[in-house]
Amino acid sequence: MPNVAIPAQFEADPSAYVWTHYAPEIGMAAGQYSLAVYENSKLSMREMEAARMRTAQINGCALCLTMRADRDLFGHIERSGGDVAKASSIRDNTPPDEGFYDDVENWRAATGFSDRELLAIEFAERLGEEPKGLKTDEDFWNRMHQHFSDAEIVDMTFSIGSWIALGRLTHVLGLDDVCMPTMPTMPHAA
């Protein structure tokens, strides 16, 4: 049940109502931020999904936990006014299977992740749970720099940051019990 008032006609997509009604300028910017991540991240789909799923588990967002890249991502981008072709051409979009998602929570014991995927999960977990300790962990940063360029690290940090913020907003306001929302898009100039 939402923790803010949602008119009956918006019950199927309460996020769109909340973002455009209560804080439209911020909601618009948040929607563009989310689209920018999905359209422009150069991380592989598996790396993105590893970090996104671990963030969803930490946030507790039911909607985020049930999202699957192969089934939901491109429809979400399209419904939100984004460019699916751009998102499709920028990275390896090989979708993970269901076992991949099942293994994210117990990633330390899992055997099916690449080194980069494991680091993406660890980064998401630590950014979400212990950012103060993460900043000064030289061992972690040495491992990150062995596997990712600085541009990829910044890309991943922006991506995880968007999932932390928007997933927590969705969960805390009780908007996460419905299907994939439509993100607000910038109005087109006439």
| Per-residue pLDDT tens over the stretch 117-167 | 999 999 999 999 999 999 999 999 999 999 999 999 999 999 999 999 999
In this prediction, residue 127 carries a pLDDT of 97
| Model confidence at 73: pLDDT above 50 | yes
CA 116 to each of CA 63, 111, 119, 125, 144: distance values in angstroms, whole numbers, following the listed order: 25, 13, 5, 14, 8
In this prediction, residue 80 carries a pLDDT of 81
Mean pLDDT value of segment 40-50: 94
Record the pTM.
0.90
| CA distance linking residue 106 with residue 125, whole number of Å | 11
Tokens of 37: 């991540």
For residue 177, give the nearest of 60, 57, 49, 25 by alpha carbon: 60
In this prediction, residue 189 carries a pLDDT of 38
- Confidence grade of residue 187 (pLDDT, cut at 50, 70, 90): very low
For residue 122, give the nearest of 111, 106, 138 by alpha carbon: 106
| Per-residue pLDDT tens over the stretch 74-105 | 888 888 888 888 887 788 888 899 999 999 99
The length of the chain is 190
Cβ-count burial of 135 within 10 angstroms (0-12 exposed, 13-18 middle, 19+ buried)?
Answer: exposed
Fold of 29-172: AhpD-like (1.20.1290)
For residue 168, give the nearest of 36, 39, 15, 11 by alpha carbon: 15
In this prediction, residue 184 carries a pLDDT of 53
| Per-residue pLDDT tens over the stretch 154-176 | 999 999 999 999 999 999 999 88
First to last CA, the chain: 38
